Structures are given as C-alpha cells and as structure tokens.
Structure 1
Amino acid sequence: MKKTTLKDVAERAGVSKATVSYILNNSNKPITEETKARVKKAMEELNYVPDLGAASLTNKTSKMIGVVIPQTEPGSQLMFHNSFYSEIISSIEYYARKIGYHILISGTNVDESYIKHIYERNLDAVIAIGVYPDEFFDQFKKIGIPAVLIDSYCKDEGFHNIRIDDELGGYLATKYMLDKHHKKVGFLSGKMKEDGVIKKRHEGYKRALSEYGIRYDKDLIFEGEVDFDSGIEIAERIVRDTIPVTGIVTTADVLAIGAIKGFHNKGKNVPADYSVVGFDDLEISKYITPGLTTIKQDIYGKGRLAVEILSRSLEDKSYPKQDIIIPFELIERESVRELQ
C-alpha cells in the first residue's frame, strides 16, 4: 500500500503543503481553527504518519531524549539485571511520549565519550542516571542541551538534579535493624564510588552504628555487583565462613532478594536465622516470601519529574536549575526479626 504523503493530505484538505507543514510543526503562522480541523480530519482519513526524520531536519529537533544507563565497569553488560532501571525507564518513556518525545536508551562505559552519540542522534535533551566521571558531565556543558541527573551528587550547579537523601536512607535502614536489637549488622552493596548513592548510604549506616555505640567493622562490609547473583554469592559466603552477622542492610532490593535466596540455598531462613533490609521497594519486593522490609523511594516519580523538568527547559531556555530531593519511607514487612 502506498504511503500517504504531505501532498495527499494537502489535496484532501484543500490547502497548500506549506499549511499542512505549519500545522504539523505547531508554527505560529495565523491559521484558522477550521483549517486545522480540516487538515486533522484529512490526516485521520488517510492514516497519515508524519516523517519524523524530515521534521527533524526542518525544525532542527529530533524529538528524542537520550537516557544514559551506567555500566559497572568498562566492557560489562548493561545493568538491566536490576529492575530499578526497568521501572524508572518505563516512567520516563511514558511521560516523554505524552509530550511528543521518544527516548533513546544507551549504556555507557565509564571510559566512553557520549558527546559523539548526542551529535549523531541529534538528541534534544539527556537524562543521566547514576555516577559518572567529571569529564562526562563536562561534555554536556560544551553542547548546551538540557540535562537532568538522577541519583547523582555532581556538585556542578549547571545541571538539574533529582535524588533522595541517600545518607538518611542508609541511616534509617540501619537504625531499624538496631532498634530490633541486632548488634552485628552487615552492609551489602555494589562498588562504592565517591559522591555516589552507595557511598552516601554507607555513611548513613556508619552514623547509625556510631549513635548506638557499636564499633564499625570493615569485615562486615560486603561489596559486589548490584544484582541478584551477587546477593546470592555473598549470603552463601556469610554462612559458609560463619561470619558473625545477624542482619544485613543492603543498598538495593535486588541484592536483598538475592541474599534471601543465598541464605535459603545454605539451609538458612529469613528472618529466623538472618534478617534483611532492602532499598528501593521494587514491585517484586512485596511478592516474595518473606515480604521484604525496605526503604521505599518513588522510582516512578523520579522519571516523571525528569521529563517534566526537561519539557520546561526545552520550552524556556532560561528555566532555572532544579535540585529536587524526593521524600522516602521505610516499609515494614516480614524480613526482619526482633531479637531478645
């Protein structure tokens, strides 16, 4: 079947091709509502689909937002092992689509330049999730397109920022465990990076221990990858090596769920033998047995806010920089036992 063209729509509506183009591109040309309605009806009748590539050349806009997902190390796989990313990306995609934009998801190594990618794809804006080297952020300043950073502690005031108070989150998760009379509390996380969310949550863990008069023990800090398998491996090692912990505070639900599985593999039970606290409140966390006690953050809301900020920045070049800290709460389920 022949593809409907701009000329076909113009002929059906009884207007010029230029008029149809003005309407499609939301031009400020003086066009009556009656003409707009006629053109819209013609497009519907002919099943006309605009050529986004041609529109991009005409308007110098691609209607594309780049979404950058971090990778743990150069050459490693994308971190889609953690459903935190699928939840936040689904939010970004939904709200971007509502304002007429599409998203382009990219994984970037810590040693990879992203500026070439932006130029090649003619991206209108970027959302970057996680921690990157300073050089990565310097690239955005050179191009001057709107950028929102999610879960970043980049100190440059030239970017929009969305995050939670991660230090407080780590503190409250640990305090909850200590309030249940656990004295040997381990900390299970991904690799700690300076000014990253994991490092902040670790600082909160240390603060809680200090307030309760408990000595910080490096042997109870377990760093791995932020994925299910790493949680399993570390939990199995805790049992195998009889490491003296009664509870574990994790920096991600996916690690906590892996740890529960690892303890089970070694014939141990959560919370009878070990208690576990997660972080994120992923959808799956309330479905597992036992239900996971965790720090609930508004993952979906982070994606929505990022798109809202970009939408305003694209409309108004002078839109002021936003630094938004989203509230969170501790969700109590069944994965922590109170000791006597």
Structure 2
Amino acid sequence: MNPTIKDVALKANVSIATVSRVLNNLTGYSDQTRLKVNRAIQELGYQPNAIARGLINKRTQTIGVMFPDVSSAFSYDLLQGIDKFAHDHNYSVMVCNTDQNGIRTLKYLQLLREKQVDGIIFSSGVLKKEYYDVLDSMNIPVVLVSTQTDFANVPYVKVDDYQAVYDSVSYLISKGHSKIAMISGTEGDPIAGTPRVEGYLKALEDHGLPFESRYLVYGDFSFQDGCTGMETLLEQAPEVTAVFAASDEAAIGALSTVTRLGMNVPGDFSIMGYDDIRMAQMVSPPLTTVRQPLFDIGRIASEKLITMIETGEVVQSAIIAHSIVERQTVRNLT
C-alpha cells in the first residue's frame, strides 16, 4: 500500500497540516522541521497526489506556455528560463505549439482550460480579442512574452524592439556602412515586424542616410527566409555592404547563402542578427547580433505569472535591456 501524507506526519512527528505546508513551500515551520519532513518523505517513498493537492488548494501547480513555433531556437531559450523558475517553485509546464494558427490557438486554450492550468504564458503573437475573451472566462492570470497588448490586466515581458533595431543599425553606421539592407520579419506584424522596420528607418533618417525600398525585404524570421531574402538582395541591391536581419535564424540563413555563393563574410558582406540564440556563436564566423536575454525574459515571465497565481494581484510589465554582441560578421569600413 502506498504511503499517505498521514504516514509522513507520523514518521516526522508533526501534524498533517505541517507536512502539507512543507509540500507546498508555505511558511510557518523551522528548517529543522522541513528537514524532518523531507527525510520522512524520502524514507517512505511518499509521492504527493497532485489531484488531491489541487482539490485542497484549488491549484494544479501547472502553467501553460503557448509558442507559435516550439521547435525554434528562440522558443527553446525562452522555455529554459520559464521552466527553470517554474520547476524551482514546484510548478509543471505544459507546452503548446500554436503554429500561428487561430483555430489551433483556440483549441489549445480549450485544452488548457480542461487541464485546469493555474496560468498561461503567451509568446510572440498578437493577443487577439477572441483569445483574451477565452482567457478572461477562464479566470486565470496570463503573462505575455515578446509581445504586448493594451488589455490592462495582462502584463508583458519583452525588449524594446524599435530601440534594439535602431541601436543595431546605428552600430553598423558607426562601422562606416552607409548602404545597409534589412531582412525583416512578417510585413505588417505589429509585434516584432513593424517596430523593427521602424527602428531601421529611423536610424537611417537620423544619420542622414536615404532609404532605398529595394534594401528592405520581408520574410518570417526563419532560416529559409533569410536565405531567400539574401538572394533577393544580391540580385536587386548588389552594392549593399551590410545586412541587418530581424532574427538570428534569418541572419544565419543570409550568412549561409553568401558563403554558398563563394563570397566572404565580413569581407564582401557584413551581417548582423537579432536575438543572440545559442547558434549565433556556433556558426562560422560567429554572428554579431543584438542580444535579447531570452532565458532571463522567460524566467521573469514565469516569476510574474506565479506571483499573480499566488497573490491574485496583477503585476507590472517589464521592458528588458538589450545589448550589442560583437563577434566576427561585421567589417569596420572606417
């Protein structure tokens, strides 16, 4: 017969309530008592019943995380930060791959409702009103990552995309580049597409450089669209000396294309990315990029969500600092 919480209490010589408080990381006991309870749990081989605990504290100790592409390096780094904080605070994480599809997003929201998750982290997409209405009816907190919204009770954690790209293009200009192209994300995307293009355009304007429409190509932040975008630029704007890509995956695609065609980076073209995913330092040459600290962003989002779950109060949004990471793909022309 499996040991029960009562067995643990008897062996540790404490009350059942004290064992429950230790299991749920609540206060009201000494370090010595915590050690006694944990020793009893280990010796008995006691496994807490998540369903029973949920009935008692009205929680499942589970959070849902929604990504448009769970296989991307961007999502992976975010998830590491989310999961680390959640795990350290005795929460489990349920990951959903929405595939930027409204129908799939609604289906996953229904699944998370059925699983009675305590809160949701929503990443990288627009929080449409139809999604918000479902979340509101679930009466659980939600935190946005790498996106934002005007809904007052939905905090977000992200970098300033506009400023990050403005600083990146200004960095290329400081290196003597005046013919700078951009491989953007999705055209019209209000989250990471349009703000990054606006940062690019404003940096050119403030430094007295004209904008050439053929210097701007659109994609979807992917490696393949980085390849395609670079091919387009080589065909329609061969005079370009530097390319800024709106994601590291797209930048690595551009780098791959230039190398495949027998040209050199940074000798023939300078390339700069956005994100600082792990792969950025693994490619050859290592990629110069603007870093948004994805692990930290995920960790902070997880912390904010769990705080909202446990206090019932809405927390403040956070804009996280970005930084330029200099490696070996930008040539100094000055």
TM-score, normalized by length of structure 2? 0.87
1:123 aligned counterpart, secondary structure: coil
Q: Displacement of 1:26 after TM fit?
A: 6.4
- Does residue 1:152 correspond to 2:147, yes or no? yes
Q: Displacement of 1:277 after TM fit?
A: 0.9
What does the per-residue CA deviation read over 1:248-280, in whole Å, with 9 as the maximum and x for residues that have no partner?
111111111121111111111111111111111
1:272 aligned counterpart, secondary structure: coil
Is the Cα contact below 8 Å between 1:152 and 1:195 reproduced in 2?
A: no
2:263 alignment partner in structure 1:
268
Q: Which amino acid aligns with 2:228?
A: E
Across the two proteins, how many residue pairs are aligned to each other?
A: 329
Q: Displacement of 1:203 after TM fit?
A: 0.4
Q: 2:208 and 2:162 mapped to 1: Cα distance?
A: 19
What does the per-residue CA deviation read over 1:178-203, in whole Å, with 9 as the maximum and x for residues that have no partner?
22332321111221344212211110
Q: 2:36 and 2:214 mapped to 1: Cα distance?
A: 72
How does 1:194-213 map onto structure 2 within 5 Å? 194-213=189-208
Is the Cα contact below 8 Å between 1:236 and 1:266 reproduced in 2?
A: no
Note closer, same or farther for the CA distance 1:56–1:209 as it changes in structure 2 (3 Å cut): same
1:245 aligned counterpart, secondary structure: coil
Q: Displacement of 1:67 after TM fit?
A: 0.8
- Does residue 1:170 correspond to 2:165, yes or no? yes
- Does residue 1:110 correspond to 2:105, yes or no? no
2:317 alignment partner in structure 1:
323
1:73 alignment partner in structure 2:
none
- 1:255 counterpart (233, 245, 250): 250
Q: 2:308 and 2:161 mapped to 1: Cα distance?
A: 26
Q: 1:96 and 1:223 mapped to 2: Cα distance?
A: 36
2:77 alignment partner in structure 1:
87
How does 1:1-340 map onto structure 2 within 5 Å? 3-6=2-5, 8-9=7-8, 12-13=11-12, 24-25=23-24, 39-70=37-68, 78-80=69-71, 82-108=72-98, 109-111=101-103, 112-113=105-106, 114-132=108-126, 133-239=128-234, 243-318=238-313, 320-339=314-333
Is the Cα contact below 8 Å between 1:67 and 1:106 reproduced in 2?
A: yes
What does the per-residue CA deviation read over 1:276-308, in whole Å, with 9 as the maximum and x for residues that have no partner?
111111223223222211111221111121122
Identity of aligned residues (%): 31
1:103 aligned counterpart, secondary structure: strand
Q: Which amino acid aligns with 2:56?
A: T
Is the Cα contact below 8 Å between 2:280 and 2:287 reproduced in 1?
A: yes
1:75 alignment partner in structure 2:
none
Q: 1:265 and 1:34 mapped to 2: Cα distance?
A: 64
Note closer, same or farther for the CA distance 1:315–1:185 as it changes in structure 2 (3 Å cut): same
Q: 1:151 and 1:117 mapped to 2: Cα distance?
A: 23
Note closer, same or farther for the CA distance 1:260–1:44 as it changes in structure 2 (3 Å cut): same
Note closer, same or farther for the CA distance 1:23–1:213 as it changes in structure 2 (3 Å cut): closer
What does the per-residue CA deviation read over 1:102-153, in whole Å, with 9 as the maximum and x for residues that have no partner?
1111012233314312311101011111122232233222322111111113
Which deviates more from structure 2 when the two are superposed, residues 167-176 or residues 55-64? 55-64
Q: 1:22 and 1:172 mapped to 2: Cα distance?
A: 49
